[in-house]
Structure 1
């Protein structure tokens, strides 16, 4: 929430660098706590995403940050991994994707909680720049389901995560701007 003396600039996107890691870790911690407080304690548990995953996302230039400036300092408002190419998790779906066209996937989206609408801005940026976007979320993550559905994503079915032994079901979404 803006204070009386606080001035903010327009929101913009940039790729994360290793210098962003400390703030990114805090944002993911905030997101885990918020999910747990809102009835979704298992999607990310206490440790997801692991630091190695975050570091790999930065090294591979997959992490995008939504930033602005307030009182002359940059603030990270939200972050997400933008993954290009086919996602192996999406090869099998109980349902059907909208199409088999090339797509990008949004993973590990998290808001700092500083401003409202940050997740929506991230999703809209992906649509504007890539057109065909897929995402998935836990059945208990009602907030993300709402964000995706209110931003024009179609619920396509259920997928199973490949990187864990339990709690693997996720709701799969897609939006394709024709």
Structure 2
């Protein structure tokens, strides 16, 4: 089932921050405490995503249960990859995909939204994020290699082209 999705509004920021907090707790409990630590993404970035029009929320029963950012244009972290991208054409990047755990299908909704903007999608995640790794495979994204992100840490990169 694909959840309902819509662009996030300023009024959604508190709900999105709660989703991200729940996702951080889940990641830590699932053996991935380092990817987002105790404060990623910061509230200022969530607000920036909303005002830039790149943050989306998923809803079930009218309640926000997930969020994700669809970012247009080149992702600087993807300029160098230890591996190889499938396609050099323009792409969209999914960032900050999170669920509060109350509903399934947030990544499916994110991929569907991203593909509606550009069928070429890229995403990365921490190698310890086993639930996301399984979900990415289930959505048809293929592993492409390793990239280094803004904080100097490595992420596994995936692509759907």
Interval of TM-score (by shorter of Structure 1 and Structure 2): over 0.9
1:13 aligns with 2:5: yes
Deviation at 1:124, TM superposition (A): 3.0
1:159 lines up with 2:159 in the alignment:
no
Show the counterpart of 2:25.
33
Please list every run of 5 or more consecutive structure 1 residues that lacks an aligned counterpart in the other structure: 1-9
1:174 and 2:136 are equivalent in the alignment: no
State how far apart, in whole Å, the 1-side matches of 2:89 and 2:120 are.
8
Structure 2 partner of 1:50: 42
Structure 2 unpaired stretches of 5+: none
Please report how far the alpha carbon of residue 129 of structure 1 lies from its aligned counterpart in structure 2 after TM superposition: 4.2
Residue aligned with 2:97, SS: strand
Deviations 1:23-65 (CA, angstroms, capped at 9, x unpaired): 1111000000000000000000001001111111011011011
**Residue aligning to 2:130:** 142
The number of residue pairs the alignment matches comes to: 160
Please report the RMSD computed on the Cα atoms of aligned residues, expressed in angstroms. 1.4
Larger RCO (CA under 8 A, 6+ residues apart)? 2
Cα drift, residue 119 of structure 1: 2.2
- TM-score w.r.t. the length of structure 1 is 0.85
TM-score by length of 2: 0.94
CA distance in 1: counterparts of 2:72 and 2:116, whole angstroms: 15
Match of 1:6 in 2: none
